Homo-oligomer: A and B are copies of this chain.
Amino acid sequence: MSGILVTGASGFIGRQVVALLAHDGAEVHAVGTSSMPPGPAGALRWHGVDLHDASATHDLLTTVRPDTLLHLAWYTVPGQYWTSPRNYLWVESSLRLFREFLDSGGSRMVGVGSCAEYDWGDGYCSEDITRLAPATTYGVCKDAVRRVADDIARSTATSAAWARLFFLYGPGEHPQRLVPSVVTRLLRGETAPLTRGDQVRDFLHVRDAAGALIALMRSDVRGPVNIASGEGASVAEVAETAARLLGGRVELGALPSRADEPPLLIADVRRLRDEVGWNPGFSLQDGLRDTVGWWRSRVVA
């Protein structure tokens, strides 16, 4: 009865989480469908388990019997995860995982949600105030899991938190997403075509997100907690900062803006800062410098 089970451990965030935890010497059980990724081993044990497989999930939990669960796994293919029916499957599998975790004696669990649970008409997303009104299948499914998990926690007196992630960037991000697509074009000496880019978002470096998730997991803070910087930056500002770091140029307005893009999405981070006691390590400038450096070593111009 010990150790931390991290699902989605080979993903964008999961890789950073298990690296940080292994560095700290924690007993980490990393779950992914792929084979063990390269990285720090130490007390890290890798479990190649498909969480949609009920009996494999049952066997994993009854074997490991983790004390703590951080459930990152979900369907996240860019451009598809907003609407994919695989979201429905993840509702089932997430609830089964929580059930198996508690049945096997677990005591602290952190589920991972999204700013997509909030009403995006509001702009400022506060855990206690902002209405929940997910407009996408992804958001509806995360919200439904949170509602049930919240009740499980309440009725079983389990210590449970729900991390709502905002806009992450950093090493290992999917090449189709904003920062990688801009940086890789610039590294190839091309200009990067963008929308007008005036939408303001709450960006956070993925290593900061991993640190915040671990801090939340190790705290006894319960309920929803935004994982974000609390500061807004426009998409144009992010792209232009990357361009400055690389000596390249972005072409704002070259692509049409999407009509349904909300102008502003900023997190209230008071719970994260005051209750969890966590603050970001990277400024946007430093975080982008780190990211650009990571891509520089991987892209052949």
* Chain A residues proximal to chain B, CB less than 8 Å: 54, 83, 85, 88-89, 91-92, 95-96, 98-99, 137, 140-141, 143-144, 147-148, 150-152, 155-156
Contact = CB atoms under 8 A, between A and B. Distances in A.
B143 A155 contact: no
Contact of A151 (B54, B95, B137): B137
Contacts of A91: 91, 95, 148
Nearest to A94: B92
A281 to B, nearest CB: 36
A7 to B, nearest CB: 17
A96 B96 CA distance: 12
A129 B268 CA distance: 29
5 contacts: A83-B155, A88-B95, A91-B95, A140-B147, A140-B148
A140 B147 CA distance: 7
A137 B89 CA distance: 22
Contacts of A98: 88
Given A88-B99, A96-B92, A99-B89, A141 B137 contact: no
Contacts of A99: 85, 88-89, 92
A99 B86 CA distance: 10
A301 B60 CA distance: 56
A186 B141 CA distance: 49
Contact of A152 (B88, B152, B155): B88
A144 B146 CA distance: 9
A92 B155 CA distance: 18
Contacts of A141: 148, 151
A98 B141 CA distance: 14
The list of the 5 closest CB pairs from A to B, nearest first, reads A140-B151, A144-B144, A92-B92, A144-B148, A144-B147
